[in-house]
Amino acid sequence: MEIPQFGRSLTFTDDIPLPCLKATLPNSAIPKLAARHIEERLEDPAFEIFLLAKDPSKISSWQRGMLERLFQKGELAAAIENGMKEYRSERDEADFVDYERRGWEDVQRNGALPHVELSRVVIDDIQREVHVRFGTTIDGHLEEHGAGVYFKAGKWTFDIDYFYDYLSEAENGEYKVPPDFDEEEPERTPQQHPTSCDTGFLVGTWVFDAEAEKARLRAKGETDEEIGPWLAEFEHRRFQISGKRFLWWYRYGRLRKPDENEIVGCVREGKKVTLKIRELKATKVDSLVYEYKDDRLRSSNGGTFKRLTD
């Protein structure tokens, strides 16, 4: 991938008032990163890159070299994978609860990257350190405290707390803002832009597809015992799309009236579809996010729906 475009910022990570360069990228810019999050929530979380240097208005040669190593030569992905292996080796499997055991088993099969959501990367030319912060939901301790790897003195190390010691030192350091240093937004790297669309391709009545949902959850390693209550919860849900109307039944029945909503917008971005709806005579607009694939709609809030045919 190309080195991202950076813009000037008067605010360093964690809102520390330090002049730096900053860029923002989606997690999907790095192959496999946050793949589980993107699949399940139908959203691509962003992460930030901060460059700190004595001259905060330009990228130093050391920083450029690190950017190339991290994003073009794959060192960022390798550092995360190795850091997670280091952490896993220090945990006693006997302490795992069921979801942690399943998560780490999937890491063994598919690597850690799909389970990791990157939040920020700091490349500090003054201290000659690199900090990578990320989160994951496969491990209760890491889910609560976050995780990170850092590069210092030529090697990568996994550590949860060192980053906060580093931030404390950075916040108390003496950095001066150059007189001509103003904030500016970088030019964004072209991504797949969402486009407005009509709802014609969604017209119809959509009912819960228990078989498709069961197959999806089994593929994630969930047992039939765990899946059963989930399927029962969604069994009677359905919705209907017709023109600008969106009718929703939490529990369908011939004598049950649906919630009536007006569709005020539809945005399509690849397989992701976002419907903007509001209740009749209301002003608040809500967003419904779906993945549209193989004439199925999978809601970001859970549940796979198929179009009801005559």
Of the two residues 42 and 114, the one the predictor is more confident about is: 114
Calculate ∠ Cα 239-194-270, nearest 5°: 70
Q: What is the mean pLDDT of residues 91-110?
A: 92
Share of the chain above pLDDT 90, in %: 57
Q: Is 205 exposed, middle or buried (0-12, 13-18, 19+ CB in 10 A)?
A: middle
Band (pLDDT 50/70/90 cuts) for residue 35 is very high
Architecture of the structural domain at 195-307:
Beta Barrel (2.40)
- Secondary structure of residue 25 in the 3-state scheme: strand
- Give mean pLDDT, residues 64-85: 96
| Predicted pLDDT at 187 | 52
pLDDT of residue 193: 52
Q: How confident is the model at residue 229 (pLDDT cuts 50, 70, 90)?
A: confident
pLDDT for residue 98: 92
Residue 28's pLDDT band, with cuts at 50, 70 and 90, is: very high
Inter-helix orientation angle 98-110/75-89, to 10°:
140
Could you tell me the pLDDT band of residue 189, with boundaries at 50, 70 and 90? very low
Structure confidence by residue, pLDDT tens digits, 158-172: 999 999 999 988 877
Q: What band does 184 get if pLDDT is binned at 50, 70 and 90?
A: low
CA distance 274 to 286: 10
For the segment 228-244, the average pLDDT, to the nearest whole number, is 90
Split at pLDDT 50, 70, 90, the class of 72 is: very high
Query: Which pLDDT band holds residue 306 (cuts at 50, 70, 90)?
Result: very high
pLDDT of residue 185: 58
Q: How much is the pLDDT for 146?
A: 93
Q: Looking at residues 82-87, what average pLDDT do you find? A: 96
pLDDT band at 197 (very low <50, low <70, confident <90, very high): confident
Beta strand extents in the chain (DSSP E only)? 7-9, 20-26, 46-52, 116-124, 129-136, 147-152, 155-158, 195-196, 204-208, 238-242, 245-249, 259-269, 272-279, 286-293, 296-299, 304-307
Q: pLDDT band for position 181 (50/70/90)?
A: low
Model pTM above 0.95: no
Query: What is the model's pLDDT at position 190?
Result: 47
Q: Domain locations in the chain?
A: 7-172, 195-307
